[in-house]
Structure 1
Amino acid sequence: MKEFLSRENTSLTVSVIIAALFAVAGIGLGLWMDSLMILFDGAYSLISLVLSMLALYVARLVRQPGNRHFPFGYAALEPLVIAVKGVTITLLCLVSLASALHALLTGGSQIDLDIAIAFTMIGLIACFSCTVYLRWSLARNESGLVAADFEQWRMDTVLSVAILLGFAAAYALERTAWADWAVYADPAMVALVAGYFIWVPLRMTSAAVRELVLAAPLAAMREEVLQATSDLGLSPEAVRMTKVGPYLVLELLVTPSEHTMPGSPALRALSASGPHRGPPGGADAGQFGRGW
């Protein structure tokens, strides 16, 4: 567990540092060059910075045990932060899309493409490096917060590729007979990228909201749990489950019998599978929580 927490905190800290550098550089350069695309990239990094710092704080809270005010711990904070992150990025995409459409309808924008291409190439290398590192971290210890950051940086990497290709196309266009159309390249890229990537935060938000409303976990996880409980003689109808943050919560409905007696084989097996909570619902209900 200590190794997991250390890797999670390190991954989120790396994400925060890189996002801070991009936020300052992107917003500053975007305003100076009057480039909607670079400004969009910087604003995205700023949002990533604020939300990654929040995720870093929540990652510590989630692992703390319950107390008098939060008897079941802080597990619900993880999907809540992911939902806020998804909604915020969605709003950024919508505002950027509206700004890009306005620029397209009012004559486009002229930018220094040499500086823009150089900045985008540096950004692409940094985004790709961060994405690879977070993917490596996820492969060793799954974390919802790190997974959300990984999705952000993966989105930013693809975004940087699209920006670089767009700026390169505009650079080439300036040296042709259609040079007047180059001013539309910057807002056109923002419109295309924002319109396409808006589905990423929407999916992120949907998954987080499912956890907040205590929906059933994914099918693969349900099948694994039902297989484990069936080995203990429990029917699928007697098992209800939900996933909240890093924890899987089970509610087992059993009839008063040797299964509910202290020291019974079934209870010993379930207790060995993870931290035990309950039974809050009386003799015919048991609840168990475990990290997943």
Structure 2
Amino acid sequence: MSYSIHKERQLLLISTFSALLFAMIGITLGSLIHSLVIIFDGVYSLVSLGLTLVSLAAVMYIRKEEVAKNIKRVKVIESSVILLKGIAITLMCVLSFISAVEAIMDGGREVNTGIALAFGVFSMIGCYTSYWVMKTQGRAVNSALIEAEAKQWLMDTVISAAVFIGFMVAKLLLLTSHAHYAELADPVMVVLASIYFIIVPVKMIISSSKQLYQLSHNTFLGKYLHI
């Protein structure tokens, strides 16, 4: 097994375990303190976990000697995986947006801002570390799948930063005469995060769709996949 193949699998495994950790913490803690945005963060990590497993399976397949020789076939599989990631993340953002709007219409949610702030710091550090590892170590691999992983972790880092900033604002509001607005901070953050983060997966969908179209322009995909 070449160094690049071994490194690619290693990075995907790191991403898998990291996503599992953040998913478990985010969903559990978010449910306990009734925070939509922390649940959003956890669900995003869970979706990332599923997509990383798909990437790992794809890597194991396309790195087989008989498959790796067919460059077009490899490109089709890589682009298809990235397209799947884009669609999954877009769907998650849309559903989260709807849930947050419903929460706002219900008057918001009361959240323990102290715990939420602590989670924000922990999540920011952890997610950025994962992004940094994917980005820096992935350069030696030159893999579209690792690049997509890095983008996912960058998005999660920004989500975590938004959580921290949002709850910091909520904490400050509690000290003023506008304390009632603090309950809107949680769902409003989800709305803003959903709107912002849908941009990246949509770009992934467009880019991978173009790639697949170019690959199939002069022939059928089945020819490349031998099906």
Please give the TM-score of this superposition, normalised by the length of structure 1. Answer: 0.70
Q: Report what 2:97 is aligned to.
A: 97
* Residue-by-residue CA offset, 1:151-171 (whole Å, 9 max, x unaligned): 000111111111100010101
Which structure has the bigger radius of gyration? 1
**Alignment check: 8 A CA contact 1:65 1:73 kept:** no
SS at match of 1:214: helix
* Letter of the 1:33 counterpart: I
Q: Report what 2:61 is aligned to.
A: 61
Q: Report what 1:81 is aligned to.
A: 81
* Letter of the 1:120 counterpart: G
**Alignment check: 8 A CA contact 2:11 2:138 kept:** no
Q: Report what 2:44 is aligned to.
A: 44
Higher relative contact order (CA 8 A, sep 6+): 2
**d(CA) in 2 for partners of 1:125, 1:194:** 21
**d(CA) in 1 for partners of 2:177, 2:59:** 55
Q: Report what 1:111 is aligned to.
A: 111
Q: Report what 2:212 is aligned to.
A: 212
SS at match of 2:142: coil
- 1:33 matched to 2:22: no
* Residue-by-residue CA offset, 1:54-86 (whole Å, 9 max, x unaligned): 11111111122447xx99755422111111111
**d(CA) in 1 for partners of 2:154, 2:114:** 25
**d(CA) in 1 for partners of 2:179, 2:74:** 57
Please give the TM-score of this superposition, normalised by the length of structure 2. Answer: 0.90
Q: Report what 1:185 is aligned to.
A: 185
Q: Report what 1:158 is aligned to.
A: 158
**d(CA) in 2 for partners of 1:189, 1:122:** 18
SS at match of 1:100: helix
- 1:19 matched to 2:22: no
**Alignment check: 8 A CA contact 1:61 1:74 kept:** no
* Residue-by-residue CA offset, 1:10-29 (whole Å, 9 max, x unaligned): 11111001000011111111
**d(CA) in 2 for partners of 1:76, 1:125:** 35
**d(CA) in 2 for partners of 1:125, 1:152:** 15
**Alignment check: 8 A CA contact 1:66 1:73 kept:** no
* Residue-by-residue CA offset, 1:226-250 (whole Å, 9 max, x unaligned): xxxxxxxxxxxxxx99xx9xxxx9x
**d(CA) in 2 for partners of 1:7, 1:80:** 22
Cα pair distance change 1:94/1:72, threshold 3 Å? closer
**Alignment check: 8 A CA contact 2:107 2:184 kept:** yes
- 1:122 matched to 2:122: yes
**d(CA) in 2 for partners of 1:215, 1:23:** 35
Gaps of 5+ in 1: 217-239, 250-292
Report the RMSD for the aligned CA atoms in angstroms. 2.3
SS at match of 2:214: coil
Q: Report what 2:169 is aligned to.
A: 169
* Residue-by-residue CA offset, 1:33-56 (whole Å, 9 max, x unaligned): 111100100000000001101111
* Letter of the 2:164 counterpart: L
Cα pair distance change 1:174/1:60, threshold 3 Å? same
Cα pair distance change 1:176/1:71, threshold 3 Å? closer
**d(CA) in 1 for partners of 2:119, 2:3:** 36
Shift of 1:213: 1.8
Q: Which has the higher strand share?
A: 1
**d(CA) in 1 for partners of 2:20, 2:116:** 19
* 1:242-257 correspondence to structure 2 within 5 Å: none
Q: Which has the higher helix share?
A: 2
* Letter of the 1:180 counterpart: H
**d(CA) in 2 for partners of 1:35, 1:102:** 14
* 1:193-272 correspondence to structure 2 within 5 Å: 193-214=193-214
